[in-house]
Amino acid sequence: MLPPDGRRNVLVWHVHGSWMESFVAGRHAYLVPYTGDDRAAGLRGREWPNATEVTHDRLTDEPVDLVVLQRPEELALAEQWLGRRPGIDVPAIYLEHNAPRPSPVDSVHPVAARSDIPVVHVTDFNRLMWDNGSAPTRVITHGIRDPGPGYSGEILSAATMINEPMRRWRTVGADLLEPLGRHVPIDVWGIGTEELEVAEWRTSRVSGRGDLPAERLMAEVARRRLYLHTARWTSLGLSLLEAMFLGMPIVAVASTMAPLVIPAEAGVVSADLDTLGWAAEGFIADHASAVAAGKAAREYATAHFSIGRFLAEWDRLIEEVCT
């Protein structure tokens, strides 16, 4: 039965901060487990009005209506902490953030054998590529709050946002920064980007800028002339969408979902590094064309990735699963 106020008690781990910020902006009560170790990180200092940090040993006393799983180990943790089996004793959804690994086409999803736990993918590409087995599937694409059209492009360099570029290296296209940096200066923000400053291949045109609070980060990124998206094998990055919302022109590697969400008028998408480098040079040289492309990028992003659409789709799925 639907609660009078439509709210459900949703147990969800804090795994992906940007996605989580949008998800807990919904109307439900979000219980975020905390253990003090890698099993559950709690709120990590975030102030989200609808989210409550709960120590794992208190979860048996919480009236959980739904479990949102995001990692294979959470199946066992949820059963242990709740005293109920996800998908059997308590409704559950598995949210899959990632493109399949290790194989692009032969990777079997962790709940592929579970017809009682639907898998929600964040892109159509991911659903296509994972072997989902008998699990029901759904796609709910990202949604973010509109930061507003902050683009100025006054600084003649490319901006990009990559967490842990040295560790994730080819997956996120960090190795492409040096050759693209021969075309235009590149400023890189994110966790661990300071390590780019000591990389052996580093040129003076690639600069690691560190990890900034969101508001400062968006302001700095928007001052750069264009946004560069280098990822080879990730889901559709929220940082790319944030840049599009800001109104930035895009130069992107043609991989995974990027070619399907960056319209031709919004920038250049290619698998050829020279084409990408020349496109970046073109935007550096021509501010007017950069502004026009950024406007198209923003129009597409606001039409397809609004937080209102995102939360409405999740509300429908939550009620479907819980009832």
**pLDDT tens digits for 105-133?**
999 999 999 999 999 999 999 999 999 99
Q: Could you tell me the fold of the domain covering 9-143+306-322?
A: Rossmann fold (3.40.50)
Which of 111-120, 195-204, 223-232, 272-281 is predicted least confidently? 195-204
- pLDDT value of position 203: 59
Q: 288-317 pLDDT, tens per residue?
A: 999 999 999 999 999 999 999 999 999 999
The domain ranges of the chain are: 9-143+306-322, 155-304
Helices (H), 70-213: 74-82, 124-129, 165-172, 177-181
Hey, what's the torsion of the CAs at 315, 316, 319, 322, to 10 degrees? -100
pTM for the structure as a whole: 0.92
Place domain 155-304 in its CATH homologous superfamily: Glycogen Phosphorylase B; (3.40.50.2000)
- pLDDT value of position 199: 59
Mean pLDDT across 264-284: 98
Which of 4-13, 56-65, 108-117, 180-189 is predicted least confidently? 4-13
pLDDT grade, residue 2 (50/70/90)?
very low
- pLDDT value of position 237: 87
CB 308 within 8 A of CB 140: no
pLDDT grade, residue 3 (50/70/90)?
low
Alpha carbon distance 123, 142 (integer Å): 8
> Which residues does 247 contact at the CB level (< 8 Å), separation at least 6?
149, 150, 151, 222, 291, 294, 295, 297, 298
Q: Give residue 157's region: left, alpha or beta (phi > 0; psi -120 to 50).
A: beta
> Which residues does 56 contact at the CB level (< 8 Å), separation at least 6?
33, 34, 35, 39, 40, 77, 81
- 155-304 has the same fold as 9-143+306-322: yes
For the chain, what is the mean pLDDT?
94
- pLDDT value of position 210: 85
pLDDT grade, residue 204 (50/70/90)?
low
pLDDT grade, residue 202 (50/70/90)?
low
- pLDDT value of position 212: 86
- pLDDT value of position 4: 52
